[in-house]
Protein backbone atom coordinates (compact mmCIF):
# COMPACT_ATOMS: atom_id res chain seq x y z
CA UNK A 1 0.00 0.00 0.00
CA UNK A 2 0.83 3.73 0.10
CA UNK A 3 1.90 4.06 -3.51
CA UNK A 4 2.51 7.40 -5.16
CA UNK A 5 2.74 7.67 -8.93
CA UNK A 6 3.96 10.43 -11.20
CA UNK A 7 3.20 11.06 -14.82
CA UNK A 8 5.04 11.41 -17.05
CA UNK A 9 8.23 9.70 -15.89
CA UNK A 10 10.22 11.81 -18.31
CA UNK A 11 9.49 14.65 -20.69
CA UNK A 12 11.47 16.64 -23.23
CA UNK A 13 10.12 19.98 -24.31
CA UNK A 14 11.14 23.08 -26.21
CA UNK A 15 12.07 26.27 -24.44
CA UNK A 16 9.04 28.49 -23.87
CA UNK A 17 6.48 25.72 -23.62
CA UNK A 18 4.63 24.61 -20.49
CA UNK A 19 4.78 21.16 -18.98
CA UNK A 20 2.34 19.56 -16.54
CA UNK A 21 3.41 16.85 -14.11
CA UNK A 22 0.85 14.80 -12.21
CA UNK A 23 1.27 13.27 -8.77
CA UNK A 24 -1.27 10.72 -7.58
CA UNK A 25 -1.69 8.81 -4.35
CA UNK A 26 -3.04 5.50 -5.61
CA UNK A 27 -4.41 3.81 -2.54
CA UNK A 28 -4.71 6.47 0.12
CA UNK A 29 -5.95 9.99 0.62
CA UNK A 30 -3.40 12.73 0.97
CA UNK A 31 -4.35 16.05 2.46
CA UNK A 32 -0.85 17.30 1.83
CA UNK A 33 1.51 16.74 -1.07
CA UNK A 34 4.96 18.17 -1.54
CA UNK A 35 6.95 19.03 -4.65
CA UNK A 36 10.72 18.77 -4.74
CA UNK A 37 13.35 19.53 -7.34
CA UNK A 38 16.63 17.70 -7.50
CA UNK A 39 19.61 18.69 -9.62
CA UNK A 40 22.31 16.12 -10.46
CA UNK A 41 24.39 15.02 -7.49
CA UNK A 42 22.42 17.27 -5.17
CA UNK A 43 19.83 16.83 -2.49
CA UNK A 44 16.11 17.27 -2.79
CA UNK A 45 15.02 20.85 -2.48
CA UNK A 46 11.48 21.50 -1.34
CA UNK A 47 9.64 23.77 -3.75
CA UNK A 48 6.16 23.93 -2.32
CA UNK A 49 3.56 22.36 -0.09
CA UNK A 50 0.29 21.54 -1.77
CA UNK A 51 -2.85 21.33 0.34
CA UNK A 52 -6.09 19.96 -1.01
CA UNK A 53 -8.60 22.69 -1.67
CA UNK A 54 -6.32 25.60 -0.88
CA UNK A 55 -3.44 27.53 -2.38
CA UNK A 56 0.00 26.02 -2.32
CA UNK A 57 2.66 27.36 0.01
CA UNK A 58 5.91 28.08 -1.82
CA UNK A 59 9.40 28.02 -0.38
CA UNK A 60 11.53 31.13 -0.48
CA UNK A 61 13.00 31.70 -3.91
CA UNK A 62 10.49 29.56 -5.79
CA UNK A 63 8.45 31.55 -8.31
CA UNK A 64 4.78 30.75 -7.82
CA UNK A 65 3.85 32.11 -11.23
CA UNK A 66 6.36 29.86 -12.90
CA UNK A 67 5.59 26.69 -10.97
CA UNK A 68 1.82 26.44 -10.79
CA UNK A 69 0.48 23.90 -8.35
CA UNK A 70 -3.07 22.62 -8.21
CA UNK A 71 -4.33 20.13 -5.64
CA UNK A 72 -7.81 19.43 -6.90
CA UNK A 73 -8.56 16.29 -4.92
CA UNK A 74 -7.24 14.18 -2.07
CA UNK A 75 -5.40 11.98 -4.54
CA UNK A 76 -4.08 14.35 -7.20
CA UNK A 77 -1.71 17.29 -7.30
CA UNK A 78 -0.30 18.81 -10.47
CA UNK A 79 2.80 20.91 -11.05
CA UNK A 80 2.91 23.00 -14.21
CA UNK A 81 6.23 24.46 -15.26
CA UNK A 82 5.26 27.49 -17.33
CA UNK A 83 7.43 28.94 -20.07
CA UNK A 84 10.10 26.37 -19.37
CA UNK A 85 13.77 27.21 -19.95
CA UNK A 86 16.85 24.99 -20.03
CA UNK A 87 17.69 25.91 -16.43
CA UNK A 88 14.38 24.33 -15.38
CA UNK A 89 15.71 20.97 -16.51
CA UNK A 90 15.74 18.83 -13.39
CA UNK A 91 14.30 15.80 -11.63
CA UNK A 92 10.95 16.70 -10.07
CA UNK A 93 9.70 14.51 -7.25
CA UNK A 94 6.43 14.63 -5.36
CA UNK A 95 5.49 13.11 -2.06
CA UNK A 96 2.22 12.58 -0.28
CA UNK A 97 1.40 12.30 3.40
CA UNK A 98 -0.98 9.78 4.77
CA UNK A 99 -3.85 11.88 6.02
CA UNK A 100 -3.02 13.62 9.31
CA UNK A 101 0.28 11.79 9.71
CA UNK A 102 3.87 12.75 9.08
CA UNK A 103 4.62 9.62 7.04
CA UNK A 104 5.62 10.70 3.53
CA UNK A 105 5.58 8.49 0.49
CA UNK A 106 7.54 9.54 -2.55
CA UNK A 107 6.75 9.25 -6.19
CA UNK A 108 9.29 7.86 -8.69
CA UNK A 109 10.13 11.30 -10.06
CA UNK A 110 9.80 13.02 -13.42
CA UNK A 111 12.86 13.92 -15.48
CA UNK A 112 12.30 17.20 -17.29
CA UNK A 113 14.64 18.23 -20.07
CA UNK A 114 14.11 21.61 -21.71
CA UNK A 115 15.88 22.11 -25.01
Partner 1 sequence: GESVGLHLPTLSVQEGDNSIINCAYSNSASDYFIWYKQESGKGPQFIIDIRSNMDKRQGQRVTVLLNKTVKHLSLQIAATQPGDSAVYFCAETPNTGGFKTIFGAGTRLFVKA
Residues in contact with partner 1 by the rule CB under 8 A: 4, 6, 32, 34, 36, 41-46, 49, 57, 59-61, 91, 93, 95, 97, 101-109, 111
In the complex with partner 1, the residue whose CB is nearer, 87 or 102, is 102
Rg (Cα) of the chain, in Å, rounded?
Answer: 13
In the complex with partner 1, the residue whose CB is nearer, 52 or 59, is 59
Instruction: Confirm if 79 and 69 have CB atoms less than 8 A apart.
Output: yes
In the bound complex, what is the minimum distance in angstroms from residue 8's beta carbon to partner 1? Answer: 14
In the bound complex, what is the minimum distance in angstroms from residue 1's beta carbon to partner 1? Answer: 13
In the complex with partner 1, the residue whose CB is nearer, 75 or 92, is 92
Strands annotated E in 10-108: 10-13, 19-25, 32-38, 45-51, 57-58, 67-73, 76-81, 90-97, 104-106
Give φ, ψ of 109 to 5 degrees: 90, 155
In the bound complex, what is the minimum distance in angstroms from residue 114's beta carbon to partner 1? Answer: 18
In the bound complex, what is the minimum distance in angstroms from residue 27's beta carbon to partner 1? Answer: 16
In the complex with partner 1, the residue whose CB is nearer, 14 or 43, is 43
Taking the C-alpha atoms of residue 30 and residue 19, their distance in angstroms, rounded to an integer, is: 23
Instruction: Confirm if 29 and 75 have CB atoms less than 8 A apart.
Output: yes
Amino acid sequence: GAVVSQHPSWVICKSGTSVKIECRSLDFQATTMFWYRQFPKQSLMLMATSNEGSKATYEQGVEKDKFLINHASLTLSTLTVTSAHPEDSSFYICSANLRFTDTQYFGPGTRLTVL
